[in-house]
Amino acid sequence: MKSTIFFPSVALFTGAVSTPQSNTKNWTHDNCHSSPAHLIPTIFLAGDSTEAPGGGHNGTEGWGQYLQYSFDLSTAFVNNSAFAGRSARSFTREGRFQAIADLVKPGDWVIIEFGHNDGGSPYPASSDTGRADCPGAGNETCSTVYANKTEIVQTYPTYLINASTISLSKGAKVILSSPTPSNPRGKGNYSYTPSIFNYYSSLATTELGGPKSGVYFVAHGQYAAQAMRLLGKEVVDENYPMDHTHTAPYLADVVARSFVLGLKCGTAPLAGLVMNATSRLEGELLGTCLSANETVPI
C-alpha cells in the first residue's frame, strides 16, 4: 500500500555525540500547577499505558512523563492525558478526546498515539472488552453491545480523524504518532515489524490533509525501535521489567527522546519549540533521522 510521505530526505549524521544523562524524575501534575499554561502552547498527549503517568504500574512508567524535559517550561507545557488500558475507541467513548478538545486553545498541539489496546474485534459482543476497534482502514462500522449498550464501533483511522478534526477546529495542530514497539529484543536478536496501527496513523494523517491541514505523522515506533537496537539486548530486556509492552523509567525516557528525534526529523513546527538541536540528538543513543522510505510503514 502507498502512503503520502511527509518526511524530508535523510539528514546527515553529524558525528559522535556523548550519551546524555537520563532524566531521573518523571513529570507529575504537581510540577505543573503554577505553569502559565494559558500563555504558552500546551502539548496534550492522548494515548495508553505506554505513555501514561504510572505506565503499566509495577514500577514501569509512560514515556509522556519525560517529554517535558525537551521543552522549556516557559515555552510549552506538556499535559499528559494518556490513560492506561485505553484504545482509540475507549478514549473516545469515555470522553477523553472531548476533555482535551474542551481545553484546547489556538496554538496548542495534540499528540495521539494508540495501538496496543486497539487490536482484535468487537465481535462477538460476549467477549468485547470495549477496546477493540472495528477492523479496517476506512468507514467500516461494527455494531456491538458493550456494557449493556449498543455501540457502533468505528475503525482506528475513523477515531483518529474524528478526534483530530475536533481539535483542529479549535485551532490546534495534531500529530499522529505510531505506537511504541513491544520489546524488539524479547525473542533474541533484534526484530521490529511496525504494526498495522503504524500504517493506519500515517493513513489518517494523509486523509486529514497532512501538513497543509496542520496534521503531521511521527514514526515514533520506528524511532523507538532504532534506539532499542542501539541500546543492546541486555539494557532493553532489563527495562521491560514486567512484560514486553511496558518500560521502566530509563527506557521510557529514551522512548520520549526518540519521539523528539522523530519530531525534529520531520516538518511539524512543534520541532521549533524543542530546546535541543537535532545535531545534539542524533548519535549513539537515538540513532539518526530515518529516511522517508524507512518510515513508510507498509
Ligand X SMILES: *[C@@H]1O[C@H](CO)[C@@H](O)[C@H](O)[C@H]1NC(C)=O
Output 129 or 293, the one with its CB closest to ligand X.
293
Q: Is residue 243 among the annotated active site residues?
A: yes
Q: CB–CB of 175/112 below 8 Å?
A: yes
Provide the mask over 277-296, with x wherever binding to ligand X is found by CB under 6 A and - wherever it is not: ----x---------x-xx--
Which residue's CB comes closest to ligand X?
Answer: 188
> Which listed residue (35, 49, 164, 258) is catalytic?
49
Choose which of 103, 137, 230, 273 interacts with ligand X (CB under 6 A): 103
Please list, residue by residue across 136-158, b when 16 or more beta carbons sit within 10 angstroms of its beta carbon and e when fewer do. ebeeeebebebeeeebebbbbbb
We find the least distance from the C-beta atom of residue 202 to ligand X, in angstroms, to be: 15
HSE (side-chain half, CA atoms, 13 Å) at 125: 12
> Alpha-carbon torsion 264, 63, 19, 193, what sign?
negative
**Taking CB under 6 A as the rule, does residue 182 contact ligand X?**
no
- The helix (run of H) or strand (run of E) holding residue 144 is strand 141-146
Q: Quick check: 230 and 285 in contact, CB under 8 A?
A: yes
For ligand X, which residue of 5, 11, 166, 230 counts as binding (CB under 6 A)? Answer: 166
Distance CA 53, CA 48 (A): 10
Smallest separation, CB 293 to ligand X (Å): 4
Evaluate whether 14 touches 279 at the Cβ level (below 8 Å).
Answer: yes
Q: Which of 49, 87, 90, 92 binds ligand X (CB under 6 A)?
A: 92
Q: Using CA atoms, how far apart are residues 92 and 200, in angstroms rounded to an integer?
A: 17
Q: Does the annotation count 279 as an active-site position?
A: no
49 noted as active-site residue = yes
Binding positions for ligand X, rule: CB under 6 A: 20, 23, 26, 28-29, 32, 37, 57-59, 61, 69-70, 79, 81, 92, 97-100, 103, 138-139, 147-148, 154, 159, 162-163, 166, 188-189, 242, 249, 257, 260, 275-276, 281, 291, 293-294
